[in-house]
Amino acid sequence: MKKNNRGLALVTAMASMLVLGACGASSEAETTVASVPETEAATVVDTATKSGEEESKTAVAAESYGFTYKGVTIHVNDSMEGVIEALGEPVNYFEAASCAFEGLDKTYTYTSFELTSYPQQDGDHLADIYFKDDTVKTEEGISLYMSKADMEKAYGTDYSVDGNSYIYERGEGQLVFIIEKDEIVSIEYVTTVKYLG
């Protein structure tokens, strides 16, 4: 298993700043839970008790690209409460005041991926899913270090290009691949939602 390189972490941090809006001085809190293993995720989500409004939000989220981990499929813009409940406690948690939204941006780190949330009036929602290594795959079977041809076979060529970023859009989300020397070096799901205050 290859680990993603440090330079890539910088690129991802910069991309996250666009989503989260980096602030100058802000109050920050970090909690590390190094000894807590990831729990088995729930595989069933009860939608029967959801209100019409919640069902509508879930439908919007489902229109974007999904990521499945331990039998649970999540999408950008999903409610974070349900996501964390399904995936279990993260290995690490970090929060900071948001410049793009009113409230706190929160980062949940798991062994092989990282989730970032954004605040809305009805609670926190999933803003970003970032792959840390090649042990996880997209819903369509693509992982880090595969080729551009593999990506195009799975997703087609209907993407936009920004430098070495290949961006697929669906619903209110994007699936972004960074490719260097014909190798996928970054995979990230990103929301396109703006503050709805």
Kindly report, residue by residue over 130-185, the tens digit of the pLDDT. Answer: 999 999 999 999 999 999 999 999 999 999 999 999 999 999 999 999 999 999 99
pTM beyond 0.75:
no
* DSSP for residue 14: H
Question: Nearest to residue 44, comparing CAs of 80, 71, 8?
Answer: 71
E strand or H helix at 52, and its extent? helix 52-62
Is residue 12 in some structural domain? Answer: yes
Q: Say yes or no to pLDDT of 190 above 90.
A: yes
Most confident of 22-26, 38-42, 112-116: 112-116
Q: Say yes or no to pLDDT of 197 above 70.
A: no
**What pLDDT is attached to residue 52?**
43
Is residue 174 in some structural domain? Answer: yes
Burial bucket for residue 101 (CB in 10 Å: 0-12, 13-18, 19+): buried
Is residue 1 in some structural domain? Answer: no
Number of domains in the chain: 1
Pairwise CA distance, residues 136 & 144, whole Å: 8
Q: Which amino acid is at 74?
A: I
Range of the domain at 106: 6-191
